[in-house]
Every structure is written in structure tokens, then in C-alpha cells.
Amino acid sequence: MSSTIVAIATGPATGAVGIVRLSGPAAVDAVAAITRGLPSPPTPRFAHRVTVVAADGAALDDGLCLVFPAPRSLTGETVVELQLHGSPRLLALVQARLLEHPTVRLADPGEFTRRAWVNGKVDLTRAQAVAALVEARSERAVRAAAAALGGATASRLGGLERALRALHAEVEAALEFPQDVEDHELTVAPRLAALRADAEALATAAGAGALLSREPAVVLYGPVNAGKSTLFNALLGEERALVDPSPGTTRDVLEARVEWQGLGLQLKDTAGLRDGAQALEARGIARGRAALDEAALAVCVVPAGAARAPWEAEVLAERRLDVASKSDLHAEGPGLRVHQHDGKGLEALRRAIVARLAPTADLGVLLSDRQRASLEQLRAHLGAAAEAERLSTLEVVAGELALASAALAELTGTGAGRDVLDEVFARFCIGK
């Protein structure tokens, strides 16, 4: 890879600092050509004070220049960073100046990270973690991405890969030396069971991770006038929804993003349910039901002491959380009780919602849709291998283990084709 790439690494908005980054053999030359004050050769990893100049020699900005000679850099190539003032126009001018160099071109999205991956600086899970960290919107998403960046996902997948490879080799050996088959049969079943348990745990962790990238919808629903909108406002801590003593106040679905205990989610308020609603209200109810169908969790809000059964029947129990509202008006009532006006029970409700969506403290593993599909294939082939093992058809076991290995290689990126890599790196913004 002989081209040198350049990109503005900081965001497109005005900021205190803006960074222009280059990677490749011409990085130092290109920067030296548009600056004054950079010694030749520059001191590695030293903050040089430089002046960036226009083609007519006029100063454009004063800033810092850091040079990371290959291979000890982010990408494994020579990397130069210009830290300037965070003016988008200035940074565009500086980038255009650098592009005047004959071998410098604009970086593609994710190309810095892709080069790091090509040069063995990061594996695919760490490269993905960079994108996930940049995109993270909640504290849990930040922590999960940081853990992956630290190698947690890589070591988890590596453990699975080693165990699978060892078992596959052993089965192949048993096929080649049938006199030893009986010995091998003793160990294949428990090791296969352990592998399946690991793959199962990974799938659970991937489910938890998916909640962090695709924030779940939590929908408040229930009969008219139950206090859903009052509860929605109380949970948000702001007067978002109109509240009124007359039934049928809410028509549209109202949405707000919240972050509770580090978990980001979409909270929705819906039209109260009742039979015989007139045209406009009925359309509101239909919208509410559509939101309910897509909800990760439905919070069934019914006043304490009122009959719950018809409302609870709207949603299956595994997707539903039952709440008794207006608990100040009625002493009895099972489950979670909230009094929206004085905030009683609100924190317990927030915790209950988070506990239902993310039942374990495990932040989860961040996988792409394609990786999750590979994981499903891995599990299917391990299951088929276990079935074949029970029937003592070792050739079939070996075949399924080979397919399982291929699925795992897709997942870890070691066996990933170009399209998979393109998809991974296309998720990045330019300059990453």
C-alpha cells in the first residue's frame, strides 16, 4: 500500500481543537511541504510547534505536529497528526493543501483502521470496537466497546476457536487411526457439550450487546385515563405529554430517549385503550398498538384496584411489566405501584425496566448482524455434530466441525471475505 491517506479526524463541527491525520510513506514530506518549523528529520512522538502556510506563504494556523514513524503507529505505517484550531474551514484548507502532494489522497471511511488491521495492529473485533465506541450513545455502550477494544471479545472468540480446532483435529485423527476411536469417543461428547455451552453463552452475550447498539423501545400502555402520560412525564422529569382528567387525551405516540443505569432506551407513551373510540381516537389507538407490537417491553399501566386482566391480555407476559398507577387513591394492589404525582415508585420502576431488558450485569458482546448470523450457523453445526456423535458417525462429526470452524472464522474475521471487511469498515466515519 504505497498511497498516503489524509483525513480530518475530528468531527465536522467547530471545536477547540481539530486534527488532520495522515498515514503512509509520504506523510512527513506532505506535512513538511506546507509547514514551517518541522525539523528534518522530526523527532518521533514529539509535539513540534509548526506553522501551516498557504500556497502564497501566508500563515493559516499555528499548531502541533506529531510524527509516529512506521511501524510504531496506529496503522503500522508512518502516521502524522496535525493538531490545529477546530475551524472546519481551516481544516478543509489544510487538507486541500496536503492533497496537493502527488501521492496523497483522501482516506476512505474506516481506512486508517483498515490499514491498522492489514498491518496486524488490530484484529477485527478491536476494529469493530473502535466504530462501536465512536457510535456509543449510552454509558453501557461505551463500556462494552471499551472492553472489546481491550480484547475481551477477541479472547472470548479465541478460546472458542482453539477448543474447536483442537476437537476437530482430534476427531480427524480418530478417523485416521480407527484403533484409537474408542478412546476418542470418550472425550468428544463432553468437549462438544462444552463448546456448545460456550457458543450458547456467546449468543446470550450477543443479545445483550445488541440492546446497546439498537436501543430497545419501552411502551407505556393501558386503559384510558390510567395516568400513562403523567407517568411518562414523571419518568422523563419534564412535562412532555399533555395530561387531562378526561379520557382519551393522548392520540399520537410520544417518544423520548432516556438513559437509566447506563442503558439507553426509547420510552413511548400511547393512546389509552377503550372500546367504542371515535375515528380520530381509534386511529391513535391503532398507532399505539403498532408501537406495542414492536416494543421490547410493554409496561401495562392500570390504576390500583381496577381490573387488570383485559389489559394484561394484550401482551404476552414475557414482554410485559405490570404497574399499578395512582397508588395514592387505592391502598391495595399487587406488584409495582407508582404514584406519579409525588414520584413514589418511579426509581423502582426504572430499575425494574432495566432489570427486565438487561437481566445480567454482563454488558454483552457487540456483534454485527452478519456476525450474529455466523454465530447461528456455528451453533447449528455444533448441534448437528453432537447429534452425529450420539449416532457414532464420526465422519459426519468431522464434517460438521469443519463447517462450524468455517462459521467461526467468518465470525472472527480470520476467514472473512472482502465483502465482510468492506461492510465492517464502511461503518466508520472518514478519519477513523
Ligand X SMILES: Nc1nc2c(ncn2[C@@H]2O[C@H](COP(=O)(O)OP(=O)(O)OP(=O)(O)O)[C@@H](O)[C@H]2O)c(=O)[nH]1
Here's the x/- map for ligand X, 289-328, by CB under 6 A: it reads as ------------------------------------xx-x
Minimum distance from residue 147 beta carbon to Mg ion (Å): 40
Alpha-carbon dihedral angle through residues 203, 206, 210, 211, given to the nearest 10 degrees? 90
Q: Using the minimum distance from each CB to ligand X, give the nearer residue, 245 or 417.
A: 245
Q: Using the minimum distance from each CB to ligand X, give the nearer residue, 148 or 302.
A: 302
Q: Using the minimum distance from each CB to Mg ion, give the nearer residue, 4 or 249.
A: 249
By CB under 6 A, how many residues form the interface with ligand X? 22
By CB under 5 A, name the binding residues for Mg ion: 228-229, 249-250
Give the three-class secondary structure for 17. strand
Residue 412 contact, options ligand X, Mg ion, none, Cβ 5-8 Å cut-off depending on partner type: none
Query: 177: Cβ–Cβ under 8 A, 6 or more apart, which residues?
Result: none
Q: Which stretch binds ligand X (CB under 6 A): 73-81, 156-164, 242-250, 314-322?
A: 242-250
Residue 35 as a binder of ligand X (CB under 6 A): the answer is no
| Spatial contact of 264 and 258, defined as CB atoms under 8 Å apart | yes
**What are the angstrom distances between the C-alpha of 54 and each of 58, 61, 97, 263, 322?**
5, 9, 7, 47, 66
Residue 262 as a binder of ligand X (CB under 6 A): the answer is no
Minimum distance from residue 240 beta carbon to Mg ion (Å): 11
Residue 115 as a binder of ligand X (CB under 6 A): the answer is no
Residue 224 contact, options ligand X, Mg ion, none, Cβ 5-8 Å cut-off depending on partner type: ligand X
Residue with cell 414482554: 319
Q: Using the minimum distance from each CB to ligand X, give the nearer residue, 205 or 220.
A: 220
Residue 25 as a binder of ligand X (CB under 6 A): the answer is no
Minimum distance from residue 384 beta carbon to ligand X (Å): 51
Question: In the set 53, 118, 175, 224, which binds ligand X (CB under 6 A)?
Answer: 224
Residue 225 as a binder of ligand X (CB under 6 A): the answer is yes
Question: In the set 329, 348, 355, 426, which binds ligand X (CB under 6 A)?
Answer: 329
Residue with cell 469493530: 128
Minimum distance from residue 358 beta carbon to Mg ion (Å): 27
Q: Using the minimum distance from each CB to ligand X, give the nearer residue, 104 or 304.
A: 304
Identify the H or E element spanning 279: helix 279-294
- Tell me if the bond preceding 88 is cis, omega within 30° of 0: no
Residue 281 as a binder of ligand X (CB under 6 A): the answer is no
Give the three-class secondary structure for 55. coil
Question: In the set 21, 101, 140, 228, which binds ligand X (CB under 6 A)?
Answer: 228
Q: Which stretch binds ligand X (CB under 6 A): 74-82, 153-161, 198-206, 223-231?
A: 223-231
Q: Phi first, then psi: what are they for 12, rounded to 5°?
A: -75, -5
| Spatial contact of 300 and 333, defined as CB atoms under 8 Å apart | no
Q: Using the minimum distance from each CB to Mg ion, give the nearer residue, 228 or 372.
A: 228
Here's the x/- map for ligand X, 337-356, by CB under 6 A: it reads as --xxx---------------
Q: How far apart are alpha carbons 48 and 82 in whole angstroms?
A: 10
- For the chain, helix, strand, coil in percent to 5 are 45, 20, 35
Q: Using the minimum distance from each CB to Mg ion, give the nearer residue, 73 or 249.
A: 249
Order of strands, sheet of 254-260, starting from the edge strand that comes earlier in the sequence: 254-260, 263-269, 217-221, 297-303, 320-325, 336-337
Question: In the set 76, 110, 227, 264, which binds ligand X (CB under 6 A)?
Answer: 227
Question: In the set 230, 371, 374, 405, which binds ligand X (CB under 6 A)?
Answer: 230
Helix H, strand E, coil C: the string for 178-235 is HHHHHHHHHHHHHHHHHHHHHHHHHHHHHHHHHHHHCCCEEEEECECCCCHHHHHHHH
Minimum distance from residue 228 beta carbon to Mg ion (Å): 5
Q: How far apart are alpha carbons 255 and 158 in whole angstroms?
A: 41
Minimum distance from residue 275 beta carbon to ligand X (Å): 13
List interacting residues with ligand X (CB under 6 A). Answer: 224-230, 243-245, 247-250, 272, 325-326, 328-329, 339-341
